[in-house]
C-alpha cells in the first residue's frame, strides 16, 4: 500500500511538471502557430473574464457543465445537452473546450449560456474554476481525462458522467493512475462492449452502460432537419456527384487523377483545413474548380448552370468546371445529401478518420482510407456493407467504376449505410433516463 502511494505521488509530480512544460511549449509555439496563439490568447485573463460573464447569469438554477476536447466531441455531446436544456430551460449551460478548433467554431453556440476554454489543468485552476461555475451535473465527453479537474469534482461529490466514452490504448501515466482517475466518474456511458470490458477488468462494471455513440442521434437530427444549399444544388444538377469531406493532402492525392479524367462527374471537396494557402493549393491541384465563396457570387438558377458547361479560364486548358472546393466550415453535414457516393478523409494519415456517419445517414456509400481500425463505426459500417476501404488511387477508381456502372449495387450499399445509422441510434435516451431516474437535476 505504501509502495502504491509513493508511485502515485511520483506520477502526480511528473504530471504536474508535464502540465507546466505543456503550457510553456504552447506559449513558445504561439509565436508562429495560429492554433497555439488562439489557445494562449483565449486563456489570457481567464478568471476575470469568467467572473464577468457569470455575473450576467441567474443564480439558483441548476448548472450543467459539459466539457469537450474539440468540435467532434461537442457534436457527440450536443444532442444530450439540447435535450436537457429543453426539459430545463432555466438551467445554466456551461460549455468548455480544450482546443481552439472547437472553441473558435462554437463560441457563439446559442444552446449554452457560457462557452469558454478549459484552463490549464493545475490544482489551483481546477479549484477556482469549479468554485466559479458550481456545477450541479458534469458531462465529460469521450475520453479526455484531466486529473485535477476530476479530483476536484470527486472531492465535492458532484456527479460526473462520461458520455460516448471510448477507452483506447493506455499511456504510462494512465496505466499507473487510471483507477484514481476513473473513480471520479459517477457513471460511464461507453460506445462499445470492448470499452466496457476494459473497465470491468479494473473493477468498474456496476456503473457502466454500453449505450453506443450519441453521434448517431446527432447526425439523424441534422439529416431530418436538412436545409438545401441552392448554389450547391445548381452545381450538382443532372450529374453524378462525389462529395469528399474532411480531406487531407493524402486523401486529395488519391482523388486527383480520377477528378481530371472524369469531367462529367461533379466533385465537391471540403478540406479539413480551409486556410487561404490550402485552398490555393487545392485550386492548383484541381484546375477545373471553383470555390464556394465565388460560386455564391455567380448568377442564380439557370444562369449558374451555364457556367459549369463552359470553359473556366484559358489557363485551365479550356475545360469546364467540374469541382467545387468548399472554403468555409460548417456546411459539410449538409453537403453529403447531394452525393451519390461519399469519401471521408483522415484514413491515410495519423490525423484519424473523420465522421463517416454524417454521410451514411443520408444513405450514401462511404469510401475511406486503410487506417480506420480505431473507429468502431467504420469497422461496423464496412461489415454492414455500407462502406469501402481503399489503399490506393487505382483501387479507388476501380471501386468507384463498379458502383457507377451498377445502380442496384450503389443503392444496396447506400441503404445498408442508412439502416446501420438508424439501427444504432438511442444513446441520448439511455443517458437521459439515467439522469432522471437518479434525480441528478432535481433538488
pLDDT tens digits, one per residue of 294-314: 998 776 554 444 445 444 443
Mean pLDDT of 204-226: 93
Note whether 2-214+426-437 and 223-423 share their fold.
yes
Going by pLDDT thresholds of 50, 70 and 90, the confidence category of residue 174 is: low
Residue 278 has pLDDT above 60, yes or no: yes
Q: Are 323 and 290 in contact (CB under 8 A)?
A: yes
Architecture in CATH of 223-423:
3-Layer(aba) Sandwich (3.40)
Task: Tell me if residue 100 falls in helix, strand or coil.
Answer: helix
Q: Where are the domains of the chain?
A: 2-214+426-437, 223-423
Q: Are 177 and 148 in contact (CB under 8 A)?
A: no
Q: What per-residue confidence (pLDDT) applies to 310?
A: 44
Residue 176 has pLDDT above 90, yes or no: no
Which of 172-176, 221-225, 397-401, 424-428 is predicted with the least confidence, judged by mean pLDDT? Answer: 172-176
Query: What percent of the chain has pLDDT above 70?
Result: 91
Structure pTM? 0.85
Domain 2-214+426-437 has CATH 3.40.50.11720: yes
Grid cell digits, residue 64? 450543467
Q: Mean of the per-residue pLDDT values for the chain?
A: 89
Residue, of 59 and 278, whose pLDDT is higher = 278
- List 210's β-bridge partners, or say none: 190
Contacts of 372 (CB under 8 A, 6+ apart): 347, 353, 378, 379, 382, 389
Q: What per-residue confidence (pLDDT) applies to 186?
A: 96
Grid cell digits, residue 429? 435516451
Q: Are 369 and 382 in contact (CB under 8 A)?
A: no
- Angle at which helices 123-133 and 46-55 pack, to 10 degrees? 10
Amino acid at each position: 500500500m505504501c509502495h502504491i502511494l509513493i508511485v502515485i505521488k511520483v506520477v502526480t509530480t511528473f504530471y504536474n511538471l508535464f502540465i507546466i512544460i505543456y503550457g510553456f511549449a504552447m506559449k513558445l509555439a504561439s509565436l508562429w502557430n495560429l492554433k497555439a496563439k488562439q489557445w494562449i490568447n483565449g486563456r489570457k485573463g481567464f478568471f476575470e473574464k469568467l467572473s464577468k460573464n457569470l455575473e450576467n447569469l441567474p443564480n439558483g438554477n441548476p448548472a450543467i457543465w459539459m466539457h469537450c476536447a474539440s468540435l467532434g466531441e461537442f457534436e457527440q455531446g450536443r444532442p444530450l445537452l439540447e435535450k436537457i436544456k429543453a426539459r430545463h430551460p432555466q438551467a445554466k449551460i456551461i460549455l468548455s473546450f480544450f482546443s481552439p478548433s472547437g472553441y473558435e467554431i462554437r463560441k457563439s453556440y446559442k444552446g449554452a449560456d457560457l462557452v469558454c476554454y478549459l484552463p490549464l489543468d493545475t490544482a489551483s485552476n481546477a479549484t477556482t474554476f469549479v468554485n466559479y461555475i458550481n456545477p450541479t451535473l458534469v458531462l465529460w465527453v469521450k475520453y479526455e481525462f484531466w486529473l485535477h479537474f476530476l479530483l476536484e469534482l470527486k472531492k465535492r461529490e458532484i456527479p460526473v458522467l462520461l458520455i460516448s466514452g471510448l477507452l483506447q490504448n493506455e499511456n504510462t501515466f494512465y496505466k499507473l493512475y487510471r483507477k484514481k482517475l476513473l473513480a471520479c466518474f459517477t457513471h460511464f456511458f461507453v460506445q462499445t462492449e470492448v470499452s466496457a470490458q476494459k473497465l470491468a477488468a479494473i473493477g468498474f462494471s456496476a456503473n457502466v452502460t454500453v449505450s453506443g455513440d450519441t453521434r448517431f442521434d446527432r447526425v439523424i437530427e441534422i439529416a431530418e432537419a436538412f436545409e438545401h444549399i441552392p448554389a450547391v444544388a445548381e452545381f450538382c444538377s443532372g450529374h453524378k456527384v462525389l462529395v469528399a469531406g474532411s480531406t487531407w493532402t493524402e486523401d486529395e492525392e488519391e482523388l486527383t487523377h480520377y477528378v481530371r479524367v472524369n469531367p462529367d462527374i461533379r466533385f465537391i471537396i471540403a478540406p479539413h483545413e480551409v486556410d487561404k494557402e490550402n485552398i490555393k493549393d487545392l485550386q492548383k491541384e484541381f484546375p477545373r474548380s471553383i470555390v464556394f465563396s465565388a460560386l455564391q457570387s455567380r448568377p442564380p438558377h439557370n444562369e449558374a448552370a451555364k457556367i459549369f458547361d463552359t470553359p473556366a479560364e484559358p489557363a485551365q486548358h479550356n475545360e469546364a468546371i467540374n469541382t467545387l472546393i468548399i472554403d468555409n466550415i460548417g456546411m459539410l453535414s449538409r453537403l453529403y445529401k447531394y452525393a451519390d457516393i461519399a469519401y471521408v478523409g483522415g484514413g491515410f494519415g495519423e490525423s484519424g478518420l473523420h465522421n463517416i456517419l454524417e454521410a451514411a445517414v443520408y444513405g450514401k456509400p462511404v469510401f475511406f482510407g486503410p487506417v480506420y481500425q480505431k473507429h468502431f463505426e467504420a469497422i461496423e459500417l464496412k461489415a454492414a456493407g455500407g462502406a469501402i476501404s481503399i489503399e490506393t488511387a487505382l483501387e479507388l477508381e476501380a471501386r468507384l467504376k463498379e458502383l457507377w456502372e451498377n445502380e442496384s449495387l450503389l443503392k444496396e450499399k447506400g441503404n445498408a449505410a442508412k439502416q446501420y445509422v438508424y439501427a444504432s441510434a438511442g444513446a441520448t435516451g439511455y443517458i437521459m433516463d439515467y439522469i432522471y431516474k437518479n434525480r441528478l437535476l432535481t433538488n
